[in-house]
Amino acid sequence: TLYHTSQPIEALPGFKPAKSMVFAGIYPVDTSEFETMRDAIEKLTLNDPSVHIEKESSVALGLGFRCGFLGLLHMDVFKQRLEQEHNVAIITTSPTVLYKILLTNGEEILIENPSNFPESVRIEQVFEPIVNATIITPKEYLGNMIKLCEERRGTQTEMTFLDEGRLILRYKLPLNEIITDYYDKLKSGSAGYASFDYELAGYQAANLVKMNILLNGKPVDALSVIVHEEKAFSMGRRLTKKLKEVIHRQMFEVAIQAAIGAKIIARESVSAMRKDVTAKCYGGDITRKRKLLEKQKEGKKKMKQVGNVELPQEAFLTVLKSEE
């Protein structure tokens, strides 16, 4: 801008950096392809600087990146470009949002990774981001839309008729409740006719807890989720049941548990593969069979202590789905 030195003008305000609202971990399916995935992500971020990238390590998944996106559509497009344009096979952890946590010492911290969620004794209050949601739906699907919003802890603020057959619903919804399958449920509950839009509306206090998934007593950080306390029990049961279906049987029993702190709220078990060690015992004293079975039992117990559970990719996709 040209101006006279005796009459300086105020400079125009610059652009604010894009603020990430949805976060997810991205890991290669094959850990040996980490370098390939890193190069692909670097190329994509040259065209899309709004993606926030930070390297992280997971005990279950190895090296990967914690990525921040502007929204859900932004995250989906980024994932598809990685897979289709660069032919990278990836595992994406459950998306999360940015929480504000007030600690007992008065300090306020921001958390977007469930593994960094502090212990409950250190937390004074948890705040979650909320959105002002607008839903336009035909009147015959009004009941389904209200039910869906109530299930997602929504608070209705307005309901008006757009014309004889359509309504506008306005709700305050927690952002965490709409980042997985909310849009799919909305479309299926309205035969595809309802539309959905939202804008951020600040933070509000909520009773949130961190739920860990344990395999044989060991927490799997990539499966940890931050959930509302009222939904923790039902979500824990659902996750353990689904994980039981996708985790392959091992040579030892696998205990799948959902826990909040030290409290176990749900449990399922994957039974061990068992060889018939008494197959060659034809008749004879029963004590011989008992000895063989006891020996097998001791071997399974020892194997359980030192063995590692192999997690298929479907186990991580389980967290992304909320169907009952």
pLDDT at 247: 78
> Does CATH place domain 210-318 in 3.90.1150.10?
no
CATH (one of 3.20.20.80, 3.40.605.10, 3.30.70.240, 3.40.50.620) for 101-206: 3.30.70.240
Return the pLDDT at 28. Answer: 85
- Where are the CATH 3.30.70.870 domain residues in the chain? 22-93
What pLDDT, on the 0 to 100 scale, is given for residue 303?
A: 40
In angstroms, the CA 224 to CA 226 distance is: 7
In this model, does residue 127 exceed pLDDT 90?
Answer: yes
Query: Would you state the structure tokens that stand for residue 14, as one six-digit string?
Result: 């610059």
For residues 56-76, average pLDDT: 81
Higher-scoring residue by pLDDT: 288, 144: 144
Q: What is the CATH number of domain 22-93?
A: 3.30.70.870
pTM: 0.70
- Listed in order, the ranges of the chain carrying CATH 3.30.70.2570 are 210-318
Q: Where in the chain is the domain with CATH 3.30.70.240?
A: 101-206
pLDDT in tens, 218-263: 888 778 888 888 888 988 888 888 888 877 777 667 888 899 888 8
Query: Distance between terminal CA atoms of the chain?
Result: 61
For position 171, what pLDDT does the model report? Answer: 92
Q: What mean pLDDT is predicted for residues 303-323?
A: 54
- What pLDDT is attached to residue 323? 44
Point out the least confidently predicted range of 14-28, 114-128, 143-157, 235-249: 14-28
